[in-house]
A and B are shown apart, each in its own frame.
Chain A
Amino acid sequence: MDDITSRLTRPTDPQQADASLVHVWRGFCDQLAEAGEVLLRPETPKNALDQAEGLRYLSRLTRTALNMEVDSSDPDFPRLFQLSDDAIKIGADNPDNIYQQAVVSGDRDYRIWGKRGTVPYLSIGSKANRYATDGSMASTGEIEFSSVKVDENGCFEIIASREPKPGRDWLPLAEDSSLLIIRQTFEDKKRQIPAEIYVECLSRLPAKPLLTPETITTQLNKAAAWVKGTANMFADWSEWFKQEPNRIYQQKDQSVWYRAGGDPKIWYGHFYYDLKPDEALVIEVQPPRCRMWNVQLDNWWMESLDHVHQKIWVNSSQATYEEDGRIIVVCADADPGFGNWIDLAGHRQGTGLWRWIEAESHPVPTCRVISLKR
């Protein structure tokens, strides 16, 4: 073995006193800077607000990529983290949801336990995460809490593994499963109590291995690649939707959204809005029987708009319905006085998403642009 190889592969020798990883941080920052090119893509809006939000979006992706790749990526010591939250928004994240993730490995068994809470919809999926390579995230197993045993104290326990666990609540893993996604969907986040969830590896190592220069280098490379890959993937999506502005996008099959990590129980109606000042987008539909629906407004980057401070989405529990049961949603700068107003929050173009959740049919909502000029 030559000198460098032996230094990089043998366990850390505390007496070795000549390492310097200055170049590793430098390399990460250089690679991260490349993600800025997404702001220059020909179709990217060049107005001040969309550009500023794009810049902030890169900082959010950086934060979540580092959290995931550096501090939550050891499948022997799984750590629940939030890939998206109220200030990290990715790929039309759902304002009615809390998402949590954990990095796992298909060749290990995991125990998932906790308290059910009162959140109406709770499901866990296992995924093969290929975001960094080909941008897809395939479902390798799903479990929904309507079929999970919950004891009188509200507690549950699920085993995640490749081999079935008869008599236990079981979440299937595949050989290449690499991620758990826990989805909680609320009708009203203020009123309903979220589930409290813990994960541990049942075949864990006795001790966490020491951090090595190779490991941190690989993690930072992956994080920088993830920022660039994710930003460009959803910019591709916005460009698709933009080809058919102001209507639900139907050129792609639902399987495209599922491959990217979508929930197979949801029908996704993505759309792109492009409105002049004083214009509004009116969306109308007769809802099917379903467990829930919602519609949200996102920016060009497919970040949900600020749902903490602004009314940028509406769901089946919050909505006002017409006498004949129809839903009218109005995407506008101000309340138009009819239907269900959702706020463009200063945006003139961007994306949005309609979801039918566990619906018996999937009617495509109709869209029209109206003028609200007085």
Chain B
Amino acid sequence: MRETTLDALWTNFCKQLAEARHVLVRPGAPRDALSQAEGVRYLSRLTRAALDSLVESADPDFPRLFQMSNDTIKIGGDNPDNVYWNATIAGDRDYRICGNRGSVPYLSFGTKANRFALDGGMVSTGELEDTKMHFEADGSFEIIVSRTAQGGNWLPMSDDTSFLLVRQTFLDRAAERPASITIERLNGPVMPRPLSSDWLERQLGQAASFVKVTANAFAGWAKLFMTRPNELLPWDQDIFQKVGGDPNIHYLHGYWRLSPGEMWVIETDVPQCRFWNFVLQNWWMESADYRNIPSAWTNINKARLSADGRLVIVVSEEDPGFGNWIDTCGHAEGTALLRWISADRHPVPSCRLIGP
């Protein structure tokens, strides 16, 4: 047997991974110790997500559910009220998803095609929501994922579909039970191919590249939002949809910056909607540590509205004693995101600073 050693591939991967460091000193990136430390941690989190996705979960013949983001992997304005599951699939195959509904208020399935090479976008190729699905009395369900229409629960794909996204939105995570989900390919090969070094070299290269490209893409967004500080604006919704945004969601992104003792006050009407939330993020567009910090974000379930039905959010170091307080979590600047979900209109909040 031919002798081979692959240590050089590991060295190369580590070298490529190191390239991502330059995002930390991009023009506009905050240079305070906290933002820099969180930036380094963010690179470590992107590394985990990239390796899990591209090395362990990349074979559409043996789809594996994984989490691209979770409580400690935060990417591009991740939603603290959501649990996401992803799987790599392919449009020319058929799949079966089985599971149980649980008690989560919102459950939906989407298939996506990566058309970045064609028109710079990630497009939806099929959507299926809980309200359109059939469940058994015990909450169990089955979905067929395919290009051709099926009876029963059907999630469409197109020829170039490349991944599955499962979204669950919670009102109160501690009280609600998430759905359980499994996926399998139908009529596929029985066993995975043995691991090949060529394939692995390519996947490791893609993983290192993912870390660099993703970090820079969202740094670019933050830079854009910095042109209108301390506002929440619709910008061009196409930007957010093209990277896989949920078509039911209207996104209001912003950049904030406060002097010591200053408060950012956000006021708005609340439209008729299925859900809304407001999340304060660091400059890297990571949500704050919502598992341990209750005032890191607010939503339709947690917030209190004023007597006239308006929503007042106050972003500050300490609880100001009015409105819904959002903790800056030690930051002097960062990004923020307000989502209107399945809303009948999309009001733009009025924002102002109150001095110390």
Report A's interface with B, CB cutoff 8 A. Answer: 7, 12-22, 24-26, 28-30, 32-33, 35-37, 39-40, 46-49, 51-56, 58-60, 62-63, 66-67, 70-72, 77, 79, 86-87, 207-208, 210-213, 215-216, 220, 223, 306, 308-310, 345-346
The closest CB in chain B to the CB of A11 belongs to B330
Q: Is B131 an interface residue (CB 8 A)?
A: no
Q: Which listed residue, A39, A56, A207, touches B55 by the CB 8 Å rule?
A: A56
User: Nearest chain B CB to A230's CB is how many angstroms away?
Assistant: 15
When distances are taken between beta carbons in the complex, the residues of chain B under 8 Å from A207 are: 293
When distances are taken between beta carbons in the complex, the residues of chain B under 8 Å from A19 are: 31-33, 36
B10 touches A55 (CB 8 A): yes
Q: Is B191 an interface residue (CB 8 A)?
A: yes
Question: Given A70-B41, A306-B192, A39 and B5 touching (CB < 8 A)?
Answer: yes
The A-contacting residues of B in range 191-239, CB under 8 angstroms, are 191-192, 194-197, 200, 204, 207
A12 touches B34 (CB 8 A): yes
Question: Given A21-B36, A59-B51, A346-B194, A30 and B62 touching (CB < 8 A)?
Answer: no
The closest CB in chain B to the CB of A69 belongs to B44
Question: Given A14-B32, A25-B18, A55 and B6 touching (CB < 8 A)?
Answer: yes
Q: Is B267 an interface residue (CB 8 A)?
A: no
Q: Is B94 an interface residue (CB 8 A)?
A: no
A52 touches B36 (CB 8 A): no
Q: Roughly how many angstroms separate A79 CA and B290 CA in the complex, as a whole number? A: 13
Question: Given A14-B260, A79-B72, A210-B330, A63 and B51 touching (CB < 8 A)?
Answer: yes
Q: Is B289 an interface residue (CB 8 A)?
A: yes
When distances are taken between beta carbons in the complex, the residues of chain B under 8 Å from A29 are: 14-15, 17-18, 21
When distances are taken between beta carbons in the complex, the residues of chain A under 8 Å from B192 are: 306, 309
When distances are taken between beta carbons in the complex, the residues of chain A under 8 Å from B52 are: 63, 87
A216 touches B40 (CB 8 A): yes
Q: Roughly how many angstroms separate A87 CA and B195 CA in the complex, as a whole number? A: 13
The closest CB in chain B to the CB of A204 belongs to B292
A21 touches B7 (CB 8 A): no
Report B's interface with A, CB cutoff 8 A. Answer: 1-11, 13-15, 17-18, 20-22, 24-25, 30-34, 36-41, 43-45, 47-48, 51-52, 55-57, 62, 64, 71-72, 190-192, 194-197, 200, 204, 207, 260, 289, 291-293, 329-333
Q: Which listed residue, B10, B34, B40, touches A25 by the CB 8 Å rule?
A: B40
When distances are taken between beta carbons in the complex, the residues of chain B under 8 Å from A32 are: 14, 17
Question: Given A36-B10, A52-B197, A16 and B72 touching (CB < 8 A)?
Answer: no
The closest CB in chain B to the CB of A81 belongs to B72
When distances are taken between beta carbons in the complex, the residues of chain A under 8 Å from B17 are: 29, 32
A211 touches B37 (CB 8 A): yes
Question: Given A52-B196, A56-B200, A47 and B4 touching (CB < 8 A)?
Answer: yes
The closest CB in chain A to the CB of B24 belongs to A22
Q: Roughly how many angstroms separate A75 CA and B74 CA in the complex, as a whole number? A: 22
A12 touches B32 (CB 8 A): yes
The closest CB in chain A to the CB of B21 belongs to A25
Q: Roughly how many angstroms separate A35 CA and B17 CA in the complex, as a whole number? A: 15
Q: Which listed residue, B2, B11, B48, touches A66 by the CB 8 Å rule?
A: B48
Starting from the known contacts A33-B10, A211-B38, 9 additional A-B residue pairs (CB-CB under 8 Å) come to A15-B32, A16-B31, A28-B44, A30-B14, A59-B204, A60-B51, A70-B41, A71-B45, A86-B64
